[in-house]
Amino acid sequence: MPQFTAASDVVGAIVLSARNSGISIGSDDVVVVAQKIVSKAEGRFADLAEVSPDPQALELSAVTGRPPELAQLILDEAQSVMRATPFAVITRHRTGHVTANSGIDASNVADDQVLLWPRDPDASARAIRAALPGRPAVIIADSLGRAWRQGTLGTAIGCAGLNHTDDRRGQTDMFGRTLQATIVAVADAIAAFAVLAMGEGAEGTPVAIVRGAGRWVTAEDGTGAAAIMRPAEGDLFP
């Protein structure tokens, strides 16, 4: 696929690349799109030289060793800072997702620039879905860290046309016991699977077509990935 810039046609690039690869996109497929190309197409670049840090950003910079300009952007993109150390800055992003550095990324962008998340990843997913032939489900995925686990995992930060979770509570297991707490994170599982195919570095494969998940694809766009967030009042590790 091409290098994406502000105002790039993400849907057009997906359709053309699929056609050139001999891949058809069906209405029961799930199109997983890397957050990075969506952010680029939406012009979510930030030039560090144009950022003026405030006192709070200077304090965060002093605690964490992050450049003051980056610290300001982290604060601008966050609802709150949950942990701040030289090892990691963990924030609750304004979308509700818990991320490192408010999801800000400096890889595969020009020097002195960083890339922010889409303003509304669910809205971005809905727009991509509406423009794709056949209206397959769409997931916007980014690789996020996980509490108590090493490594990142592909995660749905936006989705449309998908039952993003499968609530199994009230059903029974093989021995007739009633499931009490089992809710399957369908959108995140699909995103994790797709990111293995897409890669994390220089692979240049920012879109994956996932098949076999049609039973979770819906005609309506649905509530989006924002609805997957555990409410802050239910946080066991405040």
Dist. CA 211–CA 199, nearest whole Å: 18
CB of 31 within 8 A of CB of 139?
Answer: yes
Query: Which superfamily does 1-42+118-228 belong to?
Result: CofE-like (3.30.1330.100)
Residue 158 CA to residue 139 CA, distance in Å, equals: 6
CB 210 within 8 A of CB 198: no
* pLDDT tens digits, one per residue of 179-221: 898 899 999 999 999 999 998 776 788 999 999 999 999 999 9
Q: Domain segments of the chain: what residues? A: 1-42+118-228, 45-116
Over range 11-30, report the average pLDDT: 94
**Residue type for position 36:** K
Specify the range with the lowest mean pLDDT, choosing from 24-38, 57-71, 133-147, 190-204.
Answer: 190-204
Tally Cβ neighbours within 10 Å of residue 144: 19
pLDDT for the residue numbered 238: 63
For residue range 78-111, list pLDDT tens digits in order. Answer: 999 999 999 999 999 999 999 999 999 887 777 7
The CATH topology of domain 45-116 is CofE-like fold (3.90.1660)
- Other C-beta atoms lying within 10 Å of the C-beta of residue 149: 8
**What is the pTM assigned to this prediction?**
0.93
Q: What is the pLDDT of residues 48-63, one digit of tens each?
A: 999 999 999 999 999 9
Token representation of residue 216 = 């979770």
